[in-house]
């Protein structure tokens, strides 16, 4: 089967064609980073307008690149949530129109299920497994008892990890998006500024990154008050070390406790070189199979939406055509029914 997948939840307009839930026939990602850069973050109204400008063109380009006709399609998948409501709407309207015109099933898809199932495009997933979701809006530990069944055992109580990266970067006047920039700087720095780790209660799988963000801010202010220049690289390295320590330690403990056969890393922060290296080393030591998608499948894309939608396609679980954008869509509730 051939699924056309659409993703417009934030600042990437993306369309992909996925065969059998595994094969990427084509995947196009049009990023708006340059547009939002000068504002230091994503401006929702501008994101929506940009999606409107490019969605039809990108859909046509995907079909052309794949050498496919609309009659070859089996279903239309689209990100239903979570995300910016105005941005989601653009993809949803486009997907609905296609589904209606071609009389094809529509599959409203969960964005985070997409991030997790990006792994399916390059690896064989074995159950039960544990996913560490580290993205711009989410930091979660998710148990998958079986295919398509999601149970969240830990989540952030304040900032998401990608959000913390972006905020710290903005404080230090680094260019947007901050994640990749801090990552590079941290890996180049020889000094490390010691910063706290938020472990929370000993048995908790939850996360917290706002205290760490404040600690960076305090270090900058105290340097400035003393008339010194803040040690930016050392701070970047200390920040990244704290984030990685907590993410890696909690994930490995959870893998053991839930008896997961694999650990899946996903989300935009999975593109972080330091995190990938640390997880790889620690999982190797502990004998835990680790799955990480290639960089292009870590940040937002439509291929991952096609991979997650395939779970519902297989089971004939389709979405009514009057489906609405759901900025707060629950991952657990999106689980497959059968």
111 is in an annotated binding site: yes
Residue with tokens 């094969």: 23
**In angstroms, what is the minimal distance from the CB of 42 to Fe ion?**
12
**In angstroms, what is the minimal distance from the CB of 10 to Mg ion?**
5
Compare residues 81 and 105 and give the one whose CB is closer to ligand ATP. 81
CA distance 11 to 49: 10
Name residues contacting Mg ion, limited to 297-326 (CB under 5 A).
300
138 is in an annotated binding site: no
Compare residues 91 and 177 and give the one whose CB is closer to ligand ATP. 177
Of residues 5, 6, 10, 248, which one binds Mg ion by CB under 5 A?
A: 10
Q: Which does 48 bind (CB under 5 to 8 A by kind): ligand ATP, Mg ion, Fe ion, none?
A: none
Positions in the binding site for ligand ATP (CB under 6 A) = 9-10, 82-83, 111, 115, 135-138, 162, 165-166, 177-180, 183, 267-269, 271-272, 299-300
Compare residues 144 and 298 and give the one whose CB is closer to Mg ion. 298
The reply on whether position 135 binds Fe ion by CB under 5 A is: yes
133 is in an annotated binding site: yes
Which residue stretch of 4-12, 17-25, 70-78, 277-285 sits at the interface with Mg ion (rule: CB under 5 A)? 4-12
Residue 124, Cβ density class (10 Å: 0-12 exposed, 13-18 middle, ≥19 buried): exposed
154 is in an annotated binding site: no
Compare residues 99 and 298 and give the one whose CB is closer to Mg ion. 298
Q: How far is CA 66 from CA 27, 213, 282, in A?
A: 9, 44, 40
CB 158 within 8 A of CB 208: yes
135 is in an annotated binding site: yes
Q: Which does 96 bind (CB under 5 to 8 A by kind): Mg ion, Fe ion, ligand ATP, none?
A: none
CA distance 279 to 287: 12
72 is in an annotated binding site: no
The reply on whether position 140 binds Fe ion by CB under 5 A is: no
Task: Give the footprint of Fe ion on this chain (CB under 5 A).
Answer: 135, 300
- Annotated binding-site residues read 111, 115, 133-137, 166, 179, 183, 272, 300
Task: Give the footprint of Mg ion on this chain (CB under 5 A).
Answer: 10-12, 300
- Annotated binding-site residues for substrate read 133-137, 166, 179, 183, 272
């Amino acid at each position: 089967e051939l699924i056309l997948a659409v993703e417009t939840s934030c600042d990437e307009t993306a369309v992909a064609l996925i065969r059998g839930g595994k094969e990427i026939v084509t995947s196009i990602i049009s990023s708006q980073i340059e547009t939002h850069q000068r504002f230091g973050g994503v401006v929702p109204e501008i994101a929506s307008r940009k999606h409107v400008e490019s969605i039809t063109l990108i859909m046509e380009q995907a079909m052309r690149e794949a050498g496919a006709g609309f009659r070859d399609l089996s279903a239309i998948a689209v990100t239903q949530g979570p995300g910016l409501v105005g941005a989601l709407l653009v993809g949803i309207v486009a997907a609905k129109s296609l589904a209606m015109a071609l009389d094809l099933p529509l599959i409203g898809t969960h964005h985070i299920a997409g991030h997790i199932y990006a792994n399916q495009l390059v690896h064989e997933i074995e159950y039960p497994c544990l996913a560490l979701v580290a993205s711009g809006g989410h930091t979660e530990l998710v148990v998958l008892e079986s295919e398509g069944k999601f149970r969240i055992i830990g989540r952030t109580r304040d900032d998401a990890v990608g959000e913390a990266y972006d905020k710290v970067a903005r404080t230090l006047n680094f260019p947007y998006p901050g994640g990749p920039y801090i990552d590079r700087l941290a890996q180049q720095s020889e000094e490390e500024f010691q910063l706290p780790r938020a472990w929370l209660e000993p048995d908790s799988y939850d996360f917290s990154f706002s205290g760490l963000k404040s600690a960076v801010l305090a270090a900058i202010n105290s340097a400035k008050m003393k008339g010194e220049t803040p040690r930016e690289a050392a701070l970047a390295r200390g920040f990244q070390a704290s984030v990685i320590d907590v993410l890696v330690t909690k994930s490995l403990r959870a893998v053991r406790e839930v008896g997961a056969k694999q650990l899946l890393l996903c989300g935009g922060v999975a593109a972080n070189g330091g995190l990938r290296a640390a997880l790889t080393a620690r999982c190797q030591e502990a004998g835990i199979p680790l799955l990480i998608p290639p960089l292009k499948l870590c940040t937002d894309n439509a291929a991952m939406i096609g991979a997650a939608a395939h779970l519902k396609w297989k089971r004939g679980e389709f979405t009514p055509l009057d489906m609405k954008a759901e900025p707060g869509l629950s991952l657990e509730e999106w689980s497959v029914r059968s």
